[in-house]
């Protein structure tokens, strides 16, 4: 039976916090829709202390950010972007278009059509998370999206130069120095100066995630990617220092980031808790990591791999680091997670920054029904049909006519009937049902 040595905030406390965020976001989005650029500007000044005549960066500003990179920084970004592009292209190549004759004279098919415009949010309030530029912009471009715009908040009172460089190198068509609810609202709803997009992608804080949730339907979204979550599943093949390092490596995202250890060893659990406290004394980002651990950190001791898997699936966590004697057991058996990191030689940071899989992943249990951002999120799989012969339309029309009559849909039925009359030469009463022919009679 699973035992919790440490629990995080209660579900009720989380709901109260979510409710406050929801109300703030709802009011902000209504203001942006009503007043456009004026509301966006007021929010940017209020929340980020940031104002300029036009939030879209000029080509000269963008070029200066790219040219400001050192040779090593540029090489490192290029390497990461190449990995992301390569895996995205592999995923795109796995998606095949279909066209097949299902009956004589009947052709069915589907095509993968990219959305016309995507808005990519790159978080950067506490840290300039340039990796999110790779993950969103490159993936959209591999999918074939013709217009990709990006927003990132200012960093230390100016456009985040490394984010801007990464956005440009990834292929963004428009780059805006704009953050938070105002960025999400402007991209989704459009303003006098920012053209609306068809789809929003990218991670962010609780306000960004809630804005995407409320706008879903007006635009498409990738998923609900809120504050980072991490989980370590471990046994005694690893030690407490490694587990603690991987927990804090994600807890430093911010004070609302859950970090969870699931293990079948109480000794490892307690060693890890001690190591967390030790590392928090020397971690430069402890001001963010400590409240995350104290308020949202959890430690669970289970009796078996099976119980560890069941508890992990119930959490449906964003990042799941598996460091056990048999990590493939979890690959084969887990069903709810954003991404798995298998074995002690890999870790969540590799996925976040460089290895090639996408780091925009589902949070808040949404891994129960969706995976992370990938090239397919930017593609609409649209079907088509073609009927080439009189015999085919007569055959299908007979069945359709009678099926429509079962449902009482006379207008639907007439769409079939008129074709049976014209192409099949059959006498069908108006709004009636086609009598079975020799080919279709039971």
Would you please indicate which residues are annotated as catalytic (active-site) residues? 318-319
> Residues 201, 374: contact at Cβ < 8 Å?
no
Tabulate helix, strand, coil % of the chain (nearest 5): 50, 15, 35
Q: Is 359 annotated as a binding residue?
A: no
Q: What is the DSSP string of 42-63?
A: HHHHHHH----S-SBPPHHHHH
341: alpha, beta or left? (left if phi > 0; alpha if psi -120 to 50): beta
355 Cβ neighbours under 8 A, 6+ residues apart = 83, 346
Is 421 strand, coil or helix? helix
Q: Is 310 annotated as a binding residue?
A: no
DSSP state of 179: -
CA dist 433 and 318 (Å) reads 53
Q: Is the dihedral of CA 374, 338, 327, 297 positive or negative?
A: positive
Q: Is 81 annotated as a binding residue?
A: no
Terminal C-alpha separation, the chain: 58
Q: Is 134 annotated as a binding residue?
A: no
Q: How many residues does the chain have?
A: 442
Partners of 100 in beta bridges: 108
Q: Is 121 annotated as a binding residue?
A: yes
- C-alpha distances (whole Å) from 213 to each of 175, 198, 220 are 23, 14, 10
Q: Is 205 annotated as a binding residue?
A: yes
CA dist 39 and 193 (Å) reads 12
69 Cβ neighbours under 8 A, 6+ residues apart = 77, 162, 165
Cα-Cα-Cα-Cα dihedral of 426, 427, 432, 437, to 10°?
A: -40
Q: Half-sphere exposure (CA, 13 Å, Cβ side) for 10?
A: 3
Alpha-carbon Rg for the chain, nearest whole angstrom, is 27
HEC letters along 185-250: HHHHHCCCCCCCCCEEECCCCHHHHHHHHHHECCEEECCCCCCCCEEEEECCCCCHHHHHHHHHHH
**Nearest C-alpha neighbor of 251 from the set 237, 236, 272, 265:** 272
- C-alpha distances (whole Å) from 304 to each of 2, 244, 264 are 9, 21, 6
376 Cβ neighbours under 8 A, 6+ residues apart = 91, 95, 112, 143
Q: Is 391 annotated as a binding residue?
A: no
Q: Is 319 annotated as a binding residue?
A: yes
List residues forming the annotated binding site for NAD(+): 121, 182, 205
- Residue ranges for the binding site for Zn(2+)? 250, 253, 352, 412
Which residues sit in the known binding site for substrate? 228, 250, 253, 319, 352, 407, 412
Annotated binding site: 121, 182, 205, 228, 250, 253, 319, 352, 407, 412
């Amino acid at each position: 039976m699973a035992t919790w040595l440490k629990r995080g905030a209660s579900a009720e406390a989380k709901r109260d916090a979510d409710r406050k965020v929801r109300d703030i976001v709802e009011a902000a989005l209504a203001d942006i829709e009503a007043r456009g650029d004026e509301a966006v500007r007021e929010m940017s000044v209020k929340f980020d202390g940031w104002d300029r005549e036009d939030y879209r960066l000029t080509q000269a500003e963008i070029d200066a950010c790219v040219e400001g990179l050192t040779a090593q920084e540029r090489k490192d970004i290029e390497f990461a972007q190449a990995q992301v592009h390569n895996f995205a292209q592999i995923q795109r190549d796995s998606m095949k278009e279909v066209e097949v004759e299902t009956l004589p004279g009947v052709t069915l098919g589907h095509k993968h059509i990219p959305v016309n415009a995507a808005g990519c949010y790159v978080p950067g309030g506490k840290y300039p998370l340039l990796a999110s530029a790779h993950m969103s912009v490159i993936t959209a471009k591999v999918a074939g999206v013709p217009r990709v715009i990006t927003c990132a908040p200012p960093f230390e009172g100016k456009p985040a130069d490394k984010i801007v460089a990464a956005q440009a190198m990834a292929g963004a068509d428009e780059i805006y120095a704009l953050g938070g609810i105002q960025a999400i609202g402007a991209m989704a709803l459009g303003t006098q100066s920012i053209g609306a997009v068809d789809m929003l992608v990218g991670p962010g804080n609780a306000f960004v995630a809630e804005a995407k949730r409320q706008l879903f339907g007006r635009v498409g979204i990738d998923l609900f990617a809120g504050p980072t979550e991490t989980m370590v599943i471990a046994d005694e093949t690893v030690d407490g220092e490694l587990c603690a390092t991987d927990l804090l490596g994600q807890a430093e995202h911010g004070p609302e980031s859950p970090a969870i250890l699931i293990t079948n060893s109480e000794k490892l659990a307690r060693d890890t808790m001690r190591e967390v406290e030790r590392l928090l004394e020397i971690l430069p980002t402890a001001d963010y990591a400590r409240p995350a651990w104290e308020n949202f950190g959890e430690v669970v001791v289970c009796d078996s791999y099976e119980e560890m898997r069941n508890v992990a699936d119930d959490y449906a966590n964003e990042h799941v680091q598996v460091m056990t004697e048999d990590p493939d057991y979890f690959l084969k058996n887990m069903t709810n997670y954003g991404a798995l990191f298998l074995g002690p030689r890999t870790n969540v940071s590799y996925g976040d920054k460089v290895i090639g899989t996408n780091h925009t992943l589902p949070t808040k249990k949404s891994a129960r029904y969706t995976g992370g951002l990938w090239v397919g999120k930017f593609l609409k799989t649209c079907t088509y049909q073609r009927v080439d012969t009189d015999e085919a339309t007569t055959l299908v029309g007979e069945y359709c006519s009678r099926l429509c009559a079962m449902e009482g849909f006379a207008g639907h039925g007439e769409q079939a009937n008129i074709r049976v009359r014209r192409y099949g030469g059959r006498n069908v009463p108006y709004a009636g049902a086609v009598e079975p022919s020799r080919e279709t009679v039971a």
